Amino acid sequence: MNSPATLDSPSGKRARAKAANRQAILEAARAVFARIGYDATTVRDIIRETDLAAGTFYNYFRSKEEVFEALAVESTRRFRPRLKEVRERATDFESFIEGAYRAYFDFLAGENEDAIRHGAPHMALIGVRVDTPEMQVIFEDIRADIERMLDRDKLESVDTEYLTAAAVGIARELGDHMLKRRPIDVDEATRFATQLLKAGLTGTLGDVPGSC
Amino acid sequence: MNSPATLDSPSGKRARAKAANRQAILEAARAVFARIGYDATTVRDIIRETDLAAGTFYNYFRSKEEVFEALAVESTRRFRPRLKEVRERATDFESFIEGAYRAYFDFLAGENEDAIRHGAPHMALIGVRVDTPEMQVIFEDIRADIERMLDRDKLESVDTEYLTAAAVGIARELGDHMLKRRPIDVDEATRFATQLLKAGLTGTLGDVPGSC
DNA sequence: AGAAAAGTTGACGCTGCGTCATTTTCGACG
DNA sequence: CGTCGAAAATGACGCAGCGTCAACTTTTCT
């Protein structure tokens, strides 16, 4: 009659400990990266933050780089469902773009709010500027979305890879600058990015001159 | 009757050696970064590529990070005059944007052509994605240019920081993708970026609806 | 020429890395 | 329960690269 386990904690004590250790290392790493910066951080710094021994670290990750990557993957994992929701709600190109930008800027603000609150000496942008495979998956997601939206709406004579790259570039750079302003204004950044891309696109699509 | 020195090599033997050593270290670093990647590179790897001793490295740079930064500064130093020329030739906003994008993409292709020619296992993008102070200077340059162009042309009710960020973001991301295509087509990237930003801007500026 | 200043050298002590033999913990089964 | 094998944790060890520094060499100045 004992219920076997909750959903996210596996059956045995063994497996539970394993998951907990992995998580502890990830959290410790996040903390240390934020405190002293990624470059300065050593594997020992990370493991010291947990109650594990040095050797144990290597049961979970091969290196500090791999921990970082895992953190990045974690971030993208958290972001993807948001994008999916946007995709499902979107009725046309504009609403998709707007939703996607809002989702990204909002996510970015959320991810960095701890770091910001604590003065964030370093590494405010965990998991953002990195080009992990997971990041490329998101890129392709967006590209596919854009392609679909364009098909649905109008022409498709656009270089969707470049268009996606431009959209993503705007998001990244604008996001960085948004984070530096106080108060952080997600709406403002969303409006700016959306309008720019929307207008830019109609201008690009409407290759045909005199479309008025 | 002995001519003192050429223009770029200072008077004494001492000073000349110093400049040469510094340059040797920078070139060695560039080579090693390109060959085995920035992370894997050690100060010893760099110095081994020169005929200097380990200790000598530290007479010139505090760390491998500092060498990298110096390389980045070198890159931006080489880029800035190109931007200046564009600024001087530009007659209106569009020609400036086009010139700036072309200058950047061309520069990027040039900077990476060695790495690309040699199979570029790593580190194709030296001095690009880094946010050095020098990079921020260029950002501000561009922003000032954009502001001036907008004043000259029309309104100025735009958030020029965000606009610049968007322009730069497009350049960066598009540039990355341009480098991955064969053959590398600077014209194509320039056309795409220019048209997108131009159209986006008229759409943004022309907040007034029905501008036809 | 001789002395002082500037620069180079490589050996040294130290820190952090990744491994691995040993020990501890867990869970399966009689 | 007790026993046993597998899984995981531990921390000491050898090693690699770091940054320093006292000794040495080269240049410059007078």
Banded pLDDT at A10 (limits 50, 70, 90): low
- Give the pLDDT confidence of B17-62 residue by residue, as tens digits: 999 999 999 999 999 998 898 889 999 999 999 999 999 999 999 9
Tokens representing B72 are: 């980045």
- Report whether pLDDT(B3) > 50: no
d(CA B169, CA A170): 5
Q: Min CA distance, B80 vs chain A (Å)?
A: 20
Is B192 within 8 Å of A168 when comparing Cβ atoms? no
10 Å CB burial of residue B55 (0-12, 13-18, 19+) is exposed
Q: In this structure, are residues A188 and A102 in contact, taking their beta carbons and an 8 Å threshold?
A: no
Q: Min CA distance, A2 vs chain B (Å)?
A: 51
Q: What is the DSSP string of B58-117?
A: HHH-SSHHHHHHHHHHHHHHHHHHHHHHHHHH--SHHHHHHHHHHHHHHHHHHHHHHHHH
Note the Cα A135 to chain centre separation in Å.
8
- Give the pLDDT confidence of B168-201 residue by residue, as tens digits: 999 999 999 999 999 999 999 999 999 999 998 8
Residues in chain B closer than 8 A to A193 (CB atoms): 166
Q: Which nucleotide is nearest to A22 (CA to C1')?
A: D8
| Footprint on protein of nucleic strand D, Cβ below 7 A | A 14-15, 17-18, 21, 51-56, 59; B 11-15, 17, 42-44, 54-55, 58, 62-64
Q: Name the average pLDDT for chain A.
A: 84
Closest CA in chain A for residue B195:
A204
Q: Which nucleotide is nearest to B65 (CA to C1')?
A: D18
Is B169 within 8 Å of A170 when comparing Cβ atoms? yes
Tokens representing A123 are: 């590494």
Closest CA in chain B for residue A179:
B162
The alpha carbons of chain B give a radius of gyration, in whole angstroms, of 21
Residues from B contacting A (CB-CB < 8 Å) are 39, 65, 129, 159, 161-163, 165-166, 168-174, 176-177, 189, 192-193, 195-204, 212
Interface test with B, best of A174, A187, A195, A197 (most B CBs within 10 A): A174
Q: In this structure, are residues B72 and B130 in contact, taking their beta carbons and an 8 Å threshold?
A: yes
Find and give the residue nearest to C5, measured CA to C1'.
Answer: B14
* Predicted structure pTM score: 0.86
Q: Which of A9-23, A165-179, B48-62, B126-140 has the lowest mean pLDDT?
A: B126-140
Find and give the residue nearest to C9, measured CA to C1'.
Answer: B53
Closest CA in chain B for residue A206:
B199
- Report whether pLDDT(A118) > 90: no
Residues in chain A closer than 8 A to B174 (CB atoms): 162, 165-166, 169
Interface test with A, best of B177, B186, B212 (most A CBs within 10 A): B177
Of A39, A171, A202, nearest to B65 by CB-CB distance is A39
Note the Cα B76 to chain centre separation in Å.
4
- Report whether pLDDT(A158) > 50: yes
Of B94, B63, B59, whose CA–CA distance to B167 is shortest?
A: B94
A210 vs B152, residue with greater confidence: B152
| Residue B170, pLDDT score | 97
